[in-house]
Amino acid sequence: MQKTAFPLRVKAVMIDLDGTMLDTVEDLAIAVNLMLERIGRVPLDQGLIRNFIGKGINNLVERALVGAMEGRPDAALYARALPIYMECYAEVNGRHTTMYPQVREGLDALKAAGFPLACVTNKSERYTLPLLAQTGLDRYFSQVVGGDTLPRKKPDPLPLTHVCEKFGIAPADALMIGDSLNDAEAARAAGCAIFCVGYGYNEGTDVRSLDVDAIVETIFDATKLIVRS
């Protein structure tokens, strides 16, 4: 972990969605198992599916089909399963989703302090935008970047540098708040500061082992470590 002087001076904040603001694992797991049922496969344990989350739908479906973090399924099977999964997830998106503690309080504090906010997620826009609207989080974000908004998604730095460009700031003046290696690698590659929450998914890896500027218990706690520059 890098040595960081607090409070950190930043001009804008970017926040991940799944595992950071919203606990979506139950919806994702239900959709995975509906997909597996429809293609004649046995269901997987929700705890295992939790570890598969983080790099977008394509990776989630691949991992679900092989039942492991690594490996590639048969191409024809994957081509058949992916649209089924997308249909299944559309059916359950948001149905069992819950908000993590103090997310709204944290967003209210960030807005009150005048920080421009962006949601940067690997979830496809077709699921992200309805979910933000359904939970009332859409009103906080002037920018939303989904996993299919740009040619590349996290851990590539493009989504973060894109947001910084739209905000008219240097990446060094932005903070990313996430829950995973994807967020940490994207932020470091972009040149942004990075905080990770201590909960979330992170593909089974402890966030305390990552190169981040701070581990925070909640998004509200993150607001105590930054000031607007």
Q: Which of 16, 23, 179, 183 is the catalytic position?
A: 16
**CB 71: neighbour CB atoms within 10 A?**
10
Cis peptide before 130 (omega within 30 of 0): no
Give the closest residue to 60 by CA, choosing from 100, 28, 14: 28
The residues that bridge with 120 in the sheet, in sequence order, are 145
**CB 227: neighbour CB atoms within 10 A?**
13
206 as an active site residue: the answer is no
Catalytic residues: 16
